[in-house]
Structures are given as structure tokens and as C-alpha cells.
């Protein structure tokens, strides 16, 4: 469910024509729908009504301050994976008491920052991290509330590159070592054990692997309680899939919530959720302009002004994004099959192969749908292209929430050593 629809012959985001935004801001640019973000946050909150739950939005899906502030206003917390994301969440108004810190590579400086801020929970991913966190906590003089992220050895996720819960993945503590590590945590100064954490992957289209993982986690949590650990929280991570194209039917949040209620029933756990894609994915589009059509012997290339540096999901995961023209094609509009490619000097800079679209002319504008998560956050300035701007729509109004940098800003951090300028 999202708020991108044709109205009066033009694709709109809520009450704003995307042609208007493209004309004003230029392309490529991302456009997000406030109403869709809010709706998704509320649908999840509704689904979990009656359960004790913290919705810790996964900042890495889309960390723009205005997006975070929109979700903060809905009561969302944050799941962060770096000190930078922690500061973003705080700056956007998310209280530290609603922030959990995940990730396999936390540094001592990041730990100290999070302790000083007073975050809700560290999701600890290794023995080494646990020991360092203990040292830092003692130094800072604050106990670190921790859950160990366990690796349940369950395969899940829409692509091998986004599976995180198999035994060969780098994430989490090996299943067989979890209990010994909890015992060590109990002995370490500065460490306060509060829960168990798991996150098995992303773009998961089926509840079966999630249920299998959560059942294992609850069993472990109860066993840990039996060993005297104060396990109050189960953090189930994120990973719920979204529809990217017709026919995709990921489990609805209600079914997800019901499954979690069933698996955790009767034990008084606080449930922590870390949804990312399911909140932001269908709340954003990437606007682009067609530049050229180029005929090869066996295919037609449609060359557009967005590249893999702006939206890397197709190149990285073979991901599918629907492509819609901003001007609504009429019933008789010709159709044509294209390879849709960007301007980057890489063969993987391809958004779609043999995609049938309403025929496109140079200058026509298009939207990549479902680009709100893992879009702008993964963008780069490769090929010296300016970082792609972002726009937030709210009803009939919109604002630029990250503008396109100037050439001076893009090169402003660089410095040519004096010895080069002197010899020149
Ligand atoms: C990426 C990530 C999430 C969010 O995943 P989605 O698939 O976007 O819901 C949640 N928790 C952790 C630890 C993650 O790494």
C-alpha cells in the first residue's frame, strides 16, 4: 500500500505531481511519501497492539533526517549500526531509550558514544565485542544493557547477499556457543544481560523460516532464564519482505504479528522489532529522465540519467523495480522492450533487461517504484556524479530534504598537496 497514483494523466505522490518535482529539483531524484511512511509505521503498531513492543526502525534502510523525524513523530525508535546512524537518530528526535545498536564491527568509540547517550540495548555479535564492551562500560561508568545476537542457522531472505542467519554468515554468535557466552556475560563487569536478539535476513517472503528461528530463540531464552539470566526481551530483527512487482505476496504485518504473539506467548517478553524495508521501501521512488535510445543488433537500450551510483539494488542483488512513466500512457500507447541502462561506465549499470514498457521518447520522465529503502542510503558519487537529492511530500506540499551538492562541495574535502602545485 502506497500513495503513488496516476491522477489527471500524471503520476502523483499524494497530492503532488511528480512532473512538478522533477521540473523543480531535476533528475535523478528520490521522492518519499510521508503518508506512506506514517501508514506503514501505524500498520505495524496496529498489528502488534496488545503485545509489549518497541518498533526500532532500521535506520540503514533510509536514514534521511526528515524520514527519521517523520517516524519519530509516530513513536518509532531506531535500530542503528554505527555511531553515525546513532547521531542521526538522536538528531531526528528519537530518544536514546528507544535505540538499539546492532552490527558486527562496533568500535570502542561507538560503544562509548552509545553508553553516554544511554541507549536501550546493544545487540552484541561476538565474544570479542562483548569483552571490549565490558571494558568500555567500566571506563565510561555505565552498565551496558545487552542481548546477544545469535545465529540460528536458518536460511532466509530474498537473495543470498541478504541472508544473515545461516551458520556460514558473518552475523551473530554461533548457536552452539551462545549459552557459554551468556555465562561469560554474567561474569563481566559493566554488562547487564536483558535479552536475546536475532535477524535472519531481508526481503523475506515467507514466515516459515522466521517462525523456525524465533522458536529456537524463545527456547534458548527460556533455557537462559533457567540458568539465572534476566532475559526480558526478544529482539526479532527485521526482514519482512515487500511487494516489488505484481504477484509478489509477502506476509502481511498482521500475520507476522500473530506468529510472533504465538511463538512468544505466556512468557512476558518485551518484543523488539527492527523493520526497515517494510516501512520505507514502498514509500519512495527514484525519478529519472530518458536520455537516448540506442539500437544494438539484438536489443534496444534505453539510456537514462540515473545510474547504479544512485540506485544500486539491481546491480548488487539483481533486484527488480517497476518502472512507470510519469505521464500516464493512454490505452493505445505503443509498447516496446528495452534494456534500461544508466550512464555509468560499468556493465552492471543496468536496471532491467528485456523489460516491456510503454514506448519512451528521449526527455520522457520515469519513476523507479519501491525505491524508498536501500536506495539513497547506498548512493555514491562514482563517476563524479553529484549525490542524488531527496524530496519529501506531505499532502499537497513538498520540500527538498537533501539537495544536490555543488561541484565545490563535492570536491571541498579534497586537497592537492603543495608539492604538486609548486612543481606545476
Ligand atoms: C538491515 C537490518 C534490519 C532491517 O532489515 P529490513 O529487511 O530492511 O527490515 C534489521 N536489523 C538488522 C540487524 C539489520 O542489519
* pLDDT of 1: 78
Mind listing the pLDDT tens digit for each residue in 225-242?
999 999 999 999 999 999
Quote the ligand 1 centre to 109 CA distance (angstroms): 23
Which of 129, 197, 202 to probe ligand 1 with, by most ligand atoms within 8 A of CB? 202
Pick the CATH number of 4-31+281-411 from 2.40.37.10, 3.30.1360.120, 3.90.1720.10, 3.40.50.2300: 2.40.37.10
Quote the ligand 1 centre to 409 CA distance (angstroms): 31
* H/E run at residue 109: helix 108-117
Which of 55, 103, 235, 274 to probe ligand 1 with, by most ligand atoms within 8 A of CB? 274
Q: Is 121 in the pocket of ligand 1 (CB under 6 A)?
A: no
Low-confidence ranges of the chain (pLDDT < 70): 157-159, 162, 423-424
Grid cell listed for 239: 526482514
* pLDDT of 162: 67
345 part of the active site: yes
Report helix, strand or coil for 89. Answer: helix
* pLDDT of 423: 60
User: Which one of 13, 29, 76, 345 is the catalytic residue?
Assistant: 345
Looking at ligand 1, which atom is closest to the CA of residue 278?
9
Query: Cβ neighbours of residue 290 under 8 Å, at least 6 residues apart?
Result: 302, 303, 304, 305, 360, 361, 362, 363, 364, 365, 366
In the chain, where the domains are located = 4-31+281-411, 103-273
* pLDDT of 157: 66
Looking at ligand 1, which atom is closest to the CA of residue 374?
8
Residue among 237, 282, 229 nearest 260 (CA): 237
DSSP β-ladder status, 77-80 and 53-58: parallel
Give yes or no for a contact between 209 and 216, defined as CB atoms under 8 angstroms apart.
no
Looking at ligand 1, which atom is closest to the CA of residue 276?
8
Q: What CATH class is the domain 103-273? A: alpha beta
Quote the ligand 1 centre to 172 CA distance (angstroms): 13
3-state helix, strand, coil in the chain (%, to 5): 35, 25, 40
Q: Is 102 in the pocket of ligand 1 (CB under 6 A)?
A: yes
374/75 Cα distance (integer angstroms): 22
Quote the ligand 1 centre to 238 CA distance (angstroms): 5
Q: What is the DSSP string of 28-87?
A: SEEEEEHHHHHHHHHHHHHHTTTS-EEEEEEGGG---HHHHHHHHTTT-EEEESSHHHHH
Amino acid at each position: 500500500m502506497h500513495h503513488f497514483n496516476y491522477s489527471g494523466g500524471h503520476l502523483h505522490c499524494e497530492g503532488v505531481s511528480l512532473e512538478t518535482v522533477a521540473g523543480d529539483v531535476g533528475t535523478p531524484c528520490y521522492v518519499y511519501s510521508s503518508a506512506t511512511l506514517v501508514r506503514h509505521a501505524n500498520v505495524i503498531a496496529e498489528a502488534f497492539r496488545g503485545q509489549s513492543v518497541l518498533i526500532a526502525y532500521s535506520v540503514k534502510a533510509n536514514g534521511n533526517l526528515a524520514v527519521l523525524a517523520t517516524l519519530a513523530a509516530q513513536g518509532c525508535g531506531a535500530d542503528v549500526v554505527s555511531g553515525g546512524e546513532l547521531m542521526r537518530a538522536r538528531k531526528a528526535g528519537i530518544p536514546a531509550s528507544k535505540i538499539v545498536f546492532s552490527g558486527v564491527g562496533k568500535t570502542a568509540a561507538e560503544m562509548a558514544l552509545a553508553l553516554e547517550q544511554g541507549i536501550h540495548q546493544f545487540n552484541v555479535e561476538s565474544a570479542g565485542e562483548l569483552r571490549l564492551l565490558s571494558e568500555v562500560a567500566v571506563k565510561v561508568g555505565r552498565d551496558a544493557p545487552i542481548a546477544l545476537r545469535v545465529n540460528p542457522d536458518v536460511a532466509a531472505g530474498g537473495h543470498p547477499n541478504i541472508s544473515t542467519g545461516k551458520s556460514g554468515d558473518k552475523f551473530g554468535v554461533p548457536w552452539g556457543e551462545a549459552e557459554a557466552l551468556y555465562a561469560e556475560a554474567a561474569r563481566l563487569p559493566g554488562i547487564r544481560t536483558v535479552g536475546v536478539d536475532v535477524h535472519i535476513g531481508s526481503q523475506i517472503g515467507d514466515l516459515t523460516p522466521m517462525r523456525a528461528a524465533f522458536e529456537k530463540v524463545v527456547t534458548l531464552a527460556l533455557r537462559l532464564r533457567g540458568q539465572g539470566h534476566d532475559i526480558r526481551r526478544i529482539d526479532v530483527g527485521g526482514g519482512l519482505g515487500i511487494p516489488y512487482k505484481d504477484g509478489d505476496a509477502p506476509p502481511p504485518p498482521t500475520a507476522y504479528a500473530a506468529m510472533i504473539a504465538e511463538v512468544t506467548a505466556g512468557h512476558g517478553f518485551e518484543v523488539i522489532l527492527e523493520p526497515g524495508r517494510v516501512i520505507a521501501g514502498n514509500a519512495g521512488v527514484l525519478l529519472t529522465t530518458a536520455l537516448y535510445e540506442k539500437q544494438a543488433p539484438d536489443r534496444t537500450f534505453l539510456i537514462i540519467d540515473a545510474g547504479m551510483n544512485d540506485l544500486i539494488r539491481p546491480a548488487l542483488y539483481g533486484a527488480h523495480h517497476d518502472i512507470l512513466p510519469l505521464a500516464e500512457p493512454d490505452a493505445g500507447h505503443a509498447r516496446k522492450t528495452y534494456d534500461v541502462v544508466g550512464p555509468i561506465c560499468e556493465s552492471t549499470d543496468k536496471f532491467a533487461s528485456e523489460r516491456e514498457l510503454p514506448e519512451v521518447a528521449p526527455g520522457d520522465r520515469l519513476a523507479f517504484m519501491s525505491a524508498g529503502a536501500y536506495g539513497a542510503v547506498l548512493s555514491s558519487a562514482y563517476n563524479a556524479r553529484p549525490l542524488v537529492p531527496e524530496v519529501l511530500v506531505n499532502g499537497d506540499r513538498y520540500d527538498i530534504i537533501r539537495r544536490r551538492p555543488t561541484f565545490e562541495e563535492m570536491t571541498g574535502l579534497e586537497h592537492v598537496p603543495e608539492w604538486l602545485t609548486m612543481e606545476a
